Amino acid sequence: DGGITQSPKYLFRKEGQNVTLSCEQNLNHDAMYWYRQDPGQGLRLIYYSQIVNDFQKGDIAEGYSVSREKKESFPLTVTSAQKNPTAFYLCASSGIPGANVLTFGAGSRLTVL
């Protein structure tokens, strides 16, 4: 079945450590996105990529980095520069052009100890 796989589902990190969240899709979608979800704040866009080898900052990119070397993969690194990294992270994709709908993965919950 086509979909988006995020891993790990749960991740614990010590302060000062970088951590990478994986996002893989087999939908043949061109565009991929990373969102952060915090209680009471909805979803906020971190980074997005419309094609391979290209990505753009979203609304809250500081302290995060991404790469898009393959169409299927869009990993997110949460760096030590991110001041409040504990959150639920959601990866999504959409086919373009003219795509309307986002398909989401099941999410990764990061907790900084």
Partner 1 sequence: GDSVTQMEGPVTLSEEAFLTINCTYTATGYPSLFWYVQYPGEGLQLLLKATKADDKGSNKGFEATYRKETTSFHLEKGSVQVSDSAVYFCALRTSGGYQKVTFGTGTKLQVIP
- The answer to whether residues 67 and 96 touch, using CB atoms and an 8 Å cutoff, is no
DSSP single-letter state for residue 95: -
Among 2, 15, 16, 40, which residue sits at the site for partner 1 (rule: CB under 8 A)?
Answer: 40
Residue 43 binding partner 1, by CB under 8 A: yes
- The answer to whether residues 45 and 57 touch, using CB atoms and an 8 Å cutoff, is no
Among 1, 15, 42, 83, which residue sits at the site for partner 1 (rule: CB under 8 A)?
Answer: 42
Residue 45 binding partner 1, by CB under 8 A: yes
Q: Residue 78, Cβ neighbours under 10 Å: how many? A: 25
Residue 18 CA to residue 98 CA, distance in Å, equals 36
User: Interface residues for partner 1 in 46-105 (CB under 8 A)?
Assistant: 48, 50, 56, 90, 92, 94, 96, 99-105
* Interface with partner 1 (CB under 8 A): 4, 6, 31, 33, 35, 40-43, 45, 48, 50, 56, 90, 92, 94, 96, 99-107
